Amino acid sequence: MTKSLMVIGTSSHVGKSILVAALCRSFSRKYKVTPFKAQNMSLNSWITRNGEEIGIAQAIQARAAGVEPTADMNPVLLKPKGSHISQVIILGKPFADKRAGDYYDSIDGMMAVVTGAYNRLASAHDMIIIEGAGGAAEINLYDRDIVNIGIARAVKPHIILIGDIERGGVFASIYGTLQLLPEDIRSLVFGIIINKFRGDIRLLEPGILQLEELTGLPVLGVIPYTDIKLPSEDSVSIKDKTGNNHPVKIAIIWLPHISNFTDFEPLEKYADIRYIEPGDSLGEPDAIILPGTKNTIDDLKELRSKGLDRQIVAESKKGTPVIGICGGYQMLGNEIIDTGIEGTGGVCSIKGLGLLDVTTRFLDYKKQTRQVEKPVTGDGAILGQLKGGKVRGYEIHMGETDGGEPAFGDDGSVSKNGLVIGTYLHGLFENENVRTSFLGYLYKQKGILFKNKDDGDSIEELAGFIEEHVNMELIYRRIEGA
């Protein structure tokens, strides 16, 4: 029978995704493991080999487990569009745009999708490590909560509860969560983990003893704060990002519906990355990046209403490189024509930033989702030296864009001076050749030689770190019925 372990949290952003990734790597040394998250709400997504769209956290967890990501690992994905509307992705494919109330009215059907996906994974794996979502004790949602209560009731996994001490009130949040859980779910919880600890552990020990007495559960570990990096699950993580002292400064436009900002995390160890909101000053960056967005039309209107569009154009005219990915690429063009598919304002046409000679049209509710490999065909100081080479990435977009000089085979566009580049390829800076050329150009403008750094295996490093601070022996004993 397939073993199951579930990680739930006292709230969002307490470290569930990271812990599941580490556990996937640890248990994969003994079992054939797969991650599972019944329902995810995130604009950071990943495309499988079969062209299925899932949350990026489950793709990272699958890599940690040594298995190929599939849609069954995240059968329901919600991508917020604004005005309480989300695009509902079912088993990797876009299903419909729904308001929250309409979605919850169909929760029985969603639960059937979830249990079907779980059962398929169970038939092919020795162990499933389940990630909950948000705070587990959302008592107003218990009758419709498929991702915490629903899946826990369906499969009765062994459950670990994790809390974030950095937020403050960790003992109260852990105790309160346990008390508010339904009795049948509370009885499945066998241990507690405290995450993101800084300071002297001896000062925490009296509280740990009292917590264990109050709950009757062991604290399996206290995990110190660490800078080991994995791709972020959702936009909550942007608030944790701070600048550094790297000589090169890159401004990333923090669009209201920003998606897949994980595209730019490979740049963080080399450049001072700043996320600029539409109402903020752009400053004097060495490069500007417009990221993907779940709502290109509305986000472009927001840039325009706050005057950030004019700042971007002015910087481009001064010779500052500007790169647009997906929705950001669409914004760089001359015009976007929407038949009521993308924005929330119905049929419209809106002028773009005019930095690339392309036009985008949203004509039908059809999404392009695929992994791709493309040749570098663009010219200029950044792409010219890569011409004839290859890049890999994945596409997740609605709309079709025409015109201009392509950057990568039949994809994207590059300006005549080579300093404005648009593409639909997510994961662009995962390509070492692109990353080196882009950063090499920026460093050269500063009179500095750019050098790549050895990344190592961050997942293996993370797993070792967790194993050092968590009682893995007790977890194994519980899972194996000892």
Supply the residues annotated as catalytic. Answer: 326, 426
For tokens 């030689």, the residue is 449
Is there a contact between 292 and 325 (Cβ–Cβ < 8 Å)? yes
Determine contact, residues 289/252, Cβ cutoff 8 Å.
yes
Alpha-carbon gap, residue 323 to 328, rounded angstroms? 8
Neighbours of 2 (CB within 10 A): 17
CA dist 160 and 167 (Å) reads 19
Cβ-based neighbours of 8, under 8 Å, separated by 6 or more: 16, 132, 136, 148, 152, 159, 160, 161, 162, 177, 189
Which residue from 408, 315, 395, 301 is spatially nearest to 355, judged by alpha carbons?
A: 315
Which residues lie below 8 Å from residue 120, measured CB to CB, with a gap of 6+? 72
131/62 Cα distance (integer angstroms)? 12
For residues 272 and 241, give the distance between their C-alpha atoms in angstroms, rounded to a whole number.
10
Q: Among residues 399, 427, 321, which one has the least CA distance to residue 408? A: 427
The values of phi and psi at residue 131, to 5°, are -105, 130
Q: Determine the distance from the C-alpha atom of residue 448 to the mean position of all C-alpha atoms in its chain, rounded to a whole number.
A: 32
SS3 content of the chain, % helix, strand, coil (to 5): 35, 30, 35
Residue 339 near residue 363 (C-beta atoms within 8 A) = yes
Helices (H) and strands (E) in the chain, counts: 14, 26
DSSP string, 406-444: -SBTTB-EE-TTS-EEEES-BTGGGSHHHHHHHHHHHHH
